[in-house]
């Protein structure tokens, strides 16, 4: 069979479905309240679980007495870390970083030590959530309080108290490898290093050099839906878990590992996910709910409060960056140095590798030295947050470039364009860039009317920044396509839909099959019902699961062509498919639309069902860019965002309306990070602002409309050129807003957030020098 | 556990009686007792608007109202917004404008927007932003939400017929099957 015009990369090919914006398939359920999220579950005999959390940031657990709680009427089970089989089998170790079940068990219920305020120590299941809460108060924990190591700075001091006696520093020059163990006991879990050329020589060649230090604080993903899950342990030793997660197969692996049962004995059923942004890539309560269900013989539902979300889940790293960049008179960068220290929180695994492998990668620089340190301290174990680790590094690099441009007397966009990396250039990681749209994004920014629009009035400023995002990983996806007799198809995947990927996958299938997006019915199913699929993260679903679905759809066409051949009594090779119609090359009168042929499958051999999987090396790289105008109140220091234009090279926008939405949403999170958001810690390590009242995220009143500009430079790794869109947009805003504040006030903001007080202070401090 | 209290209300046009503990919030009563899980909990302390309902014509955060306070009141939740044979214009506009991503904030926004547009279908961007400032969305950047509410206002001025376009996907919607499995047959 020949499929005409089906494959081949290029924006030049024309599409019927891809690039349109149909109504999403799950939309009606979500605007009517019918869609069921993590907490929207109820069943006969359901118990409610609650977690007791540590009031101390660092303490040894001497003993836990649960007897009074167990005696409270209505309480059906109490659990501590001792109830996790893995804790009895293994000592805590730090290998395998992200998916280390023993480490996750320790974070889900502390065993010997609590490592941050909010660390879970015990759990109760009772007939009502209120009774469970009362029971928590009856649990007596005897703590031996230890000195708190609250920040990376405390943690790196000589003779700093160690969080983990068995933790030794690792050294690596490759983000995907653990590197070698240096044997040095330390709160520094690892160092990652990238080197190109001769850094000393590079700086000698520079005419202008700028070196600055920057800090960012701990911030949270801020998803509106708190963590919620339900577990039901059956008498057959099998457990079913309903949960709101980015990855059902990851939850399956973790629960099986911690409970020491076969993965196939765990069935994870995905609920709708009310926001995740990386933070729901792992679970916290699923193993706890499983233990409580096993002990009580009832299903157990657990829902976090907002306070628990702040205290008990993973925000992203507070970070320290030192960045030095040198350029010659023409603006060519001769050398760059980036020193990054990211807080991992209680256990190793900050996204410092994400910062190190991206901060300078948009540029072609021959002499580079990047060092990144992953440092444990007595805060929440950090988790991924949208382009993990990238925004912190970009905050430093893009501000240093801004200063460099000013010193050189160059337009900041021209400086970037002069140094932009192109296909084949080596990134600091040593890996040559594939086909990328960095230059196209920068040129689009410069050509955009916003860039040259007059900005009138005092205390106003315009800032720009770009942000490079990389996904080099890629975990793999499965998809199954079933053809229905009415000409529709079901597409079955294990990819949780965080933001509209049902529709973006369905559209790719529709494009291949020549049918309407509405005739493709996407379903997200449980771990028993679809092949292994990695989590929804790394901007990979429209790309990876899309690729799996496309190859499944192509298989459907091949199978259907065989049926047409049967009907027409010709060879399958004689059947062709174009624009949604099968026809016979030998006798063009013989033709059947996809729908007509779908109705004849039962008479020609039975149903057509095709499964496919895809395992790619990751989406690759992309560039985002921002132009922002701000106004800063000189009396109060408050920043108003006046105008915002956000650019992103998306490869190919499958559903442009939702692509715009991703760009706008990532921008909102970046603005919140830049201006307001931070965890306030007391000196003892307690979070002082664990509510939405005090941890202030942007509201409708804080933002203008955000113009999203879609750039399409096709990704050679995807048949339609898709690059993924989820993460890129959050990379540039921190620096773009800071650069705008500088233009408005004359003060450089070296720390986040740029709260009114911080801005007034910086203006005060820097005024004599700048004005 | 306190003694249970009998509360009589009208919810989404039907009489709804329930028994609750005095300490339970209206949000808990709606979700856990009545099975109306379309109303969401994001913070449980009045700071996100995910739990927004209309009570006697006014919007409020149902997490901050005790269930017993609903005695004798008329309540509209997200489940009561759509007409029998289709969608409300606000719901339709949210779909057409791609004004939701994860969708967890969506019920709260739609209920809040209805209370506004019922009175002021002409509300402009500034008015809409002001009215919706109590509803947090972390996914959309608000841009498309504001546009959807503006569009819904237009649609509502043109009369109810537009709101009753049934079957936005020609009756073939895939819907959300998430969370459903053999063990799981409970529904409201
Ligand atoms: S749950 Fe009621 S306002 Fe957040
Ligand atoms: S759509 Fe996710 S919070 Fe609004």
Q: What is the pLDDT of residues A254-282, one digit of tens each?
A: 999 999 999 999 999 999 999 999 999 99
Nearest chain A residue to B89, by CA: A31
Q: pLDDT digits over A524-567, tens only?
A: 999 999 999 999 998 999 999 999 999 999 999 999 999 999 99
Say which residues have a Cβ less than 8 Å from residue A324's Cβ, sequence separation at least 6. Answer: A203, A209, A210, A211, A212, A335, A336, A337, A338, A400
pLDDT on residue B164 = 44
Angle of CA points A135, B28, B186, to nearest 5°: 100
Put simply, the answer to whether A232 touches B172 (Cβ < 8 Å) is no
Residue A10's pLDDT is 43
How many other CB atoms sit within 10 Å of the CB of residue A758? 18
Mean pLDDT score of chain B? 90
Mean pLDDT of A162-172: 94
Complex ipTM, two decimals? 0.96
Chain A closest CA to B80's CA: distance in Å? 8
A197 — phi, psi (to 5°)?
60, -150
Res A296 pLDDT > 70 = yes
- Among residues A472, A436, A464, which one has the least CA distance to residue A362? A436
Atom of ligand 1 nearest to the CA of B63: 2
A437 secondary structure, DSSP code: -
Question: Which residues in chain A have their CB less than 8 angstroms from residue B35's CB?
Answer: 42
Q: Where in chain A is CATH 3.30.365.10?
A: 474-614
Mean pLDDT, range B37-56, rounded to an integer: 98
Q: Where are the alpha helices (DSSP H) in B5-119?
A: 26-28, 89-96, 106-119
User: What pLDDT score was predicted for residue A12?
Assistant: 56
Which string of DSSP letters, residue by residue, matches A513-576?
HTS-GGGEEEEE--TTSS-----S-TT-IIIIIHHHHHHHHHHHHHHHHHHHHHHHTS-GGGEE
Q: Is the pLDDT of residue A218 over 70?
A: yes
Residue A771 has pLDDT above 70, yes or no: no
Of the candidates B2, B184, B100, B71, the one whose C-alpha atom is nearest the C-alpha of residue A232 is: B184
Q: CA of A510: how far to CAs of A28, A564, A654, A752, B93, in Å?
A: 20, 20, 11, 45, 24
pLDDT value at position B168? 45
Taking the CA of residue A306 as centre, how many other CA atoms within 13 Å lie in the half-sphere pointing to its CB? 21
Q: What is the pLDDT of residues B158-184, one digit of tens each?
A: 875 444 444 444 445 567 865 665 455
Residue A249 pLDDT greater than 80, yes or no: yes
B24, B39, B48, best to mutate for ligand 1 pocket (most atoms within 8 Å of CB) = B48
Strands B14-20 and A113-114 come out as unpaired
Return the C-alpha torsion angle A512, A542, A468, A668, nearest 10: 130
Residue carrying the six token digits 């999220």: A37
Q: Is residue B19 predicted with pLDDT exceeding 90?
A: yes
Minimal Cα–Cα distance from B11 to chain A, Å?
A: 15
pLDDT of A571 > 60? The answer is yes
Quick one: pLDDT band at residue B137, thresholds 50, 70, 90? very high
The whole-number pLDDT of residue B162 equals 47
Instruction: Determine contact: B171 vs chain A, CB below 8 A.
Output: no
Tell me which residue of A440, A441, A393, A443 sits closest to A414, measured CA to CA. A443
Alpha-carbon span A501 to A498, nearest angstrom: 7
pLDDT for res B181: 56
Check residue A26 and give its pLDDT: 97
B42 close to A (CB below 8 A): yes
Q: Is A594 helix (H, G, I), strand (E, B) or coil?
A: helix
What is the distance in angstroms between the CA of the first residue and the CA of the last residue of chain A? 73
Sequence-distant (≥ 6) Cβ neighbours of residue A634 within 8 angstroms: A459, A745, A763
Distance from the B88 Cα atom to the nearest Cα atom in chain A, whole angstroms = 9
- How many CB atoms sit inside 10 A of residue A573's CB? 11
Q: Does B35 touch chain A (CB under 8 A)?
A: yes
Phi, psi of B124 (to 5 degrees): -95, 180
Residue A99: predicted pLDDT = 75
Q: Over the stretch A7-24, which tens digit does the pLDDT of each residue have?
A: 444 445 799 999 999 999
B65 lines ligand 1 (CB under 6 A): no
Spatial distance between the Cα atoms of B106 and A711, rounded to a whole number of angstroms: 29
**Interval A170-183 mean pLDDT:** 87
Which residues of B are less than 8 Å from A506 in CB distance?
174
**Chain-chain contact of A270 with B178 (C-beta, under 8 angstroms):** yes
Choice from B105, B145, B148 to test ligand 2 binding pocket (greatest atom count within 8 A of CB): B105
**Mutation target vs A (from B51, B112, B176, B187; most A CBs, 10 A cutoff):** B176
Provide, as residue numbers in chain A, all residues whose Cβ is less than 8 Å from the Cβ of B135.
700
**Secondary structure (DSSP) of A7-29:** ----TTS--SSTT--PPPTTHHH
**What is the CA angle A255-A257-A258, rounded to 5?**
65
pLDDT tens by residue, A609-626? 999 999 877 888 999 999
Q: Is the Cβ of B138 closer than 8 Å to some Cβ of chain A?
A: yes
Look at B140 and A700 and tell me if their CB atoms are within 8 Å. no
- Give the CA count within 13 Å in the CB-facing half-sphere of A440: 16
Strands (E), A377-524: 460-471, 477-483, 489-493, 520-524
Is the per-residue pLDDT at B48 higher than 60? yes
Mean pLDDT of chain A: 95
Task: Give the model's pLDDT for residue A376.
Answer: 98
- Give mean pLDDT, residues A154-168: 96
- Report the run of H or E that residue A114 belongs to, with start and end: strand A113-114
- For chain B, the domains span 5-79, 89-187
Please tell me the total number of residues recorded for chain A in this structure.
771
Q: Strands of A168-172's sheet, edge to edge?
A: A180-185, A168-172, A188-196, A368-376, A333-345, A319-327, A208-216
**B89-187: CATH class:** mainly alpha
Cβ neighbors of A319 (< 8 A, separation 6 or more) are A152, A215, A216, A340, A341, A342, A343, A352, A355, A389, A392
Q: Are A436 and A422 in contact (CB under 8 A)?
A: yes
Which residue among B77, B138, B168 sits closest to A23, beta carbon to beta carbon? B168
Which residues, 6 or more positions from B186, have their beta carbon under 8 angstroms from its beta carbon?
A41, A42, A43, A44, B35
Nearest to A202, CA basis, from A400, A368, A357, A427: A368
Does the pLDDT at position A454 exceed 90? Answer: yes
For residues A628 and A573, what is the distance between their CA atoms, to the nearest angstrom?
A: 56
CA–CA–CA angle B8, B12, B16 (5° rounding): 25
Is the pLDDT reported for residue A436 higher than 50?
Answer: yes
Q: Which residues 76-105 of B are in CB contact (within 8 Å) with A?
A: 77-79, 81-82, 87, 91, 94-98, 100-105
Of all residues in chain A, the percent with pLDDT exceeding 90 is 94
Q: Could you give the CA distance from residue A471 to residue A374 in angstroms, rounded to a whole number?
A: 20
Per the document, the length of chain B is 188
More confident residue, A232 or A98: A232
| Nearest atom, ligand 1, residue B41 CA | 1
Cα dihedral: A425, A431, A435, A437 (round 10):
-70
Helix H segments across A197-304? 199-204, 248-259, 286-296
Q: State if residue B89 touches ligand 1 by the CB under 6 angstroms criterion.
A: no
Alpha helices in A572-681 (DSSP H): 594-598, 656-675
Q: Which residues of B68-105 are buried (b: 16+ CB within 10 A; e: fewer)?
A: bebeebebbbbbbbbeeebbbbbbbbbbbbbbbbbbbb
Interchain proximity A518–B103, CB inside 8 Å: no
Residue B155 CB contacts under 8 Å (≥ 6 apart), including other chains: B89, B92, B93, B162, B163
pLDDT surpassing 80 at residue A176: no
Give the H/E segment covering residue A388: none
Q: What is the CATH number of domain A39-148+228-307?
A: 3.90.1170.50
The model's confidence at residue A513, banded by pLDDT at 50, 70 and 90, is very high
Q: Range(s) for CATH 3.90.1170.50 in chain A?
A: 39-148+228-307
Q: Give the residue, by CA position, lying nearest to ligand 2 atom 3.
A: B137
End-to-end alpha carbon distance in chain B: 25
Residues of chain A contacting B32 with CB distance shorter than 8 Å? 42
Strand stretches in A571-636, DSSP E: 575-578, 581-584, 591-593, 609-614, 620-632
**Can you give the pTM of this predicted structure?**
0.96
Q: At what angle do helices A656-675 and B143-157 cross, to 10 degrees?
A: 130
The answer, yes or no, to whether the previous bond of A562 is cis (omega within 30 of 0) is no
* pLDDT per position as a tens digit, A375-386: 999 999 999 999
Q: What is the pLDDT of residues A664-714, one digit of tens each?
A: 999 999 999 999 999 999 999 999 999 999 999 999 999 999 999 999 999
d(CA A35, CA B188) in angstroms, rounded, equals: 12
CB burial of A151-166 (b: ≥16 within 10 Å; e: otherwise) equals bbebbbeeebeebbee
Residue B32 gets which letter from DSSP? I
pLDDT at A758 over 80: yes
Q: Identify which has the larger pLDDT, A44 or A770.
A: A44
Confidence (pLDDT) at B28: 97
A144 φ, ψ (degrees, to nearest 5):
-105, 110
Q: Which value, to the nearest 10 degrees, does the dihedral of the CA atoms of residues A233, A237, A238, A241 take?
A: 20
**Pairwise pLDDT comparison (A61 vs B183), residue with the higher score:** A61
Query: Does B5-79 carry CATH code 3.40.190.290?
Result: no
Joined together, the tokens standing for residue A324 give 């030095």
- Using a pLDDT cut of 70, give the percent of chain A over it: 97
Structure confidence by residue, pLDDT tens digits, A46-59 = 999 999 999 999 99
Residue A352 confidence class, pLDDT cut points 50, 70, 90: very high
Tell me which fold the domain A474-614 belongs to: Aldehyde Oxidoreductase; domain 4 (3.30.365)
Stretch A349-364: mean pLDDT: 97
**Residue B137 in contact with ligand 2 by CB distance below 6 A:** yes
Q: Which residues have a Cβ under 8 Å from the Cβ of A545 and sit 6 or more positions away?
A: A477, A479, A493, A495, A501, A505, A533, A614
CB of B47 within 6 A of ligand 1: the answer is yes
Residues of A in contact with B166 (CB under 8 A): none
Instruction: Say if CB A270 and CB A245 are below 8 A apart.
Output: yes
């Amino acid at each position: 069979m020949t499929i005409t015009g089906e494959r081949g990369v290029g924006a030049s090919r024309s599409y019927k479905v891809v690039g349109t914006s149909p109504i999403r398939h799950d939309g009606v359920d979500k605007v009517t309240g019918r869609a069921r999220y993590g907490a929207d579950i109820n069943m006969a005999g359901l118990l409610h679980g609650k977690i007791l959390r540590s009031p101390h940031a660092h303490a040894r657990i001497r003993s836990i007495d649960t007897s009074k709680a167990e005696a409270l009427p209505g309480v059906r089970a109490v659990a501590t870390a001792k109830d996790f089989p893995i804790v009895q089998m293994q000592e805590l170790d730090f290998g395998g970083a992200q998916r280390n079940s023993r480490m996750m068990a320790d974070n889900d219920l502390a065993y010997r030590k609590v490592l941050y305020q909010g660390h879970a120590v015990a759990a109760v299941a009772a007939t009502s959530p209120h009774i469970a809460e009362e029971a928590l108060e009856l649990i007596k924990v005897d703590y031996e309080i230890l000195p708190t190591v609250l920040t990376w700075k405390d943690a790196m001091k000589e003779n700093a108290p160690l969080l983990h006696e068995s933790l030794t520093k690792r050294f690596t020059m490759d983000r995907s490898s653990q590197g070698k163990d240096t044997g040095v006991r330390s709160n520094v879990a690892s160092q990652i290093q990238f080197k190109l050329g001769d850094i000393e020589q590079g700086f000698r060649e520079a005419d202008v050099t700028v070196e600055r230090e920057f800090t960012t604080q701990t911030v949270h993903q801020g998803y509106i839906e708190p963590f919620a899950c339900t577990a039901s342990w059956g008498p057959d030793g099998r457990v079913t878990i309903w949960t709101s997660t980015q990855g059902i197969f990851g939850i399956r692996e973790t629960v099986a590992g911690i409970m020491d049962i076969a993965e196939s004995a765990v069935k994870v059923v995905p609920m709708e996910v009310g926001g995740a942004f990386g933070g729901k890539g792992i679970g916290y309560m699923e193993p706890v709910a499983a233990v409580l269900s096993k002990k009580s013989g009832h299903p157990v539902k657990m829902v976090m409060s907002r306070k628990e979300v702040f205290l008990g889940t993973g925000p992203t790293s507070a970070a320290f960056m030192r960045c030095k960049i040198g350029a010659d008179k023409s603006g060519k960068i001769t050398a760059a140095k980036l020193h990054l220290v990211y807080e991992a929180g209680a256990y190793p695994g900050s996204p410092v590798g994400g910062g190190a492998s991206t901060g300078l990668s948009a540029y072609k620089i021959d002499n580079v030295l990047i060092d990144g340190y992953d440092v444990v301290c007595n805060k929440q174990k950090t988790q991924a947050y949208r382009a993990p680790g990238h925004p912190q590094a970009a905050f430093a690099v893009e501000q240093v470039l801004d200063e460099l441009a000013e010193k050189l007397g160059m337009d900041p966009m021209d400086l970037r364009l002069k140094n932009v990396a192109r296909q084949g250039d080596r990134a600091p990681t040593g890996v040559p860039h594939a086909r990328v749209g960095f230059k196209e994004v920068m040129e689009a920014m410069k050509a955009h009317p916003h860039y040259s629009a007059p900005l009138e009035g005092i205390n106003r400023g315009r800032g720009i920044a770009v942000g490079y995002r990389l996904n080099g990983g890629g975990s793999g996806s499965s998809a199954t396509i079933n053809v229905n007799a009415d000409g529709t198809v079901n597409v079955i995947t294990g990819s949780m839909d965080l933001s509209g990927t049902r529709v973006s996958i369905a559209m790719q299938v529709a494009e291949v099959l020549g049918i309407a997006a509405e005739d493709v019915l996407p379903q997200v199913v449980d771990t028993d019902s679809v092949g292994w699929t990695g989590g929804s993260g790394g901007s990979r679903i429209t790309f990876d699961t899309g690729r799996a679905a496309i190859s499944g759809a192509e298989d459907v066409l091949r199978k259907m062509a065989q049926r047409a051949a049967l009907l027409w009594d010709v060879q399958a090779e004689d059947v062709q498919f174009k624009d949604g119609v099968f026809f016979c090359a030998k006798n063009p009168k013989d033709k059947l639309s996809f729908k007509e042929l779908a109705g004849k499958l039962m008479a020609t051999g039975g149903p057509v069902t095709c499964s496919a999987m895809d395992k790619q090396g990751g989406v690759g790289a992309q560039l985002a860019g921002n132009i922002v105008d701000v106004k800063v109140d000189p009396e109060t220091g408050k920043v108003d965002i006046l105008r915002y234009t956000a650019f992103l090279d998306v490869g190919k926008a499958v559903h442009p309306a939702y692509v715009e939405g991703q760009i706008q949403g990532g921008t909102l999170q970046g603005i919140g990070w830049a201006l307001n958001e931070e965890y306030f810690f007391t000196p003892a390590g307690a979070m002082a602002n664990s509510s939405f009242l005090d941890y202030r995220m942007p509201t409708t009143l804080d933002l203008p409309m955000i113009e999203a500009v879609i750039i399409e430079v096709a990704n050679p790794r995807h048949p339609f050129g898709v690059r993924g869109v989820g993460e890129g947009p959050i990379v540039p805003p921190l620096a773009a807003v800071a650069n705008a504040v500088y233009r408005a006030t004359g003060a450089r903001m070296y720390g986040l957030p740029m709260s009114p007080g911080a801005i007034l202070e910086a203006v005060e401090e820097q005024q004599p020098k700048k004005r | 556990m306190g003694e249970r209290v009998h509360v009589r209300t009208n919810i989404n046009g039907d009489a709804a009686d329930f028994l609750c503990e005095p300490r339970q919030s209206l949000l808990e009563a709606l979700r856990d007792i009545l099975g109306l899980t379309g109303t969401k909990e994001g913070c449980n302390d009045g700071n996100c608007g995910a739990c927004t309902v209309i009570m006697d014509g006014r919007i409020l955060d149902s997490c901050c109202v005790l269930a017993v306070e609903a005695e004798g009141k008329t309540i509209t939740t997200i489940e009561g917004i759509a007409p029998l044979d289709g969608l409300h214009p606000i719901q339709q506009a949210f779909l057409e404008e791609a004004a939701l991503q994860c969708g967890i904030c969506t019920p709260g926004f739609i209920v809040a927007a209805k209370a506004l547009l019922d009175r002021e279908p002409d509300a402009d961007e500034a008015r809409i932003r002001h009215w919706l400032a109590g509803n947090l969305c972390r996914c959309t950047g608000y841009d498309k939400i504001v546009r959807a509410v503006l569009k819904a206002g237009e649609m509502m001025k043109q009369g109810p017929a537009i709101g009753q376009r049934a079957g936005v996907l020609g009756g073939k919607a895939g819907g959300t099957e998430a969370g459903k499995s053999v063990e799981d047959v409970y529904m409201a």
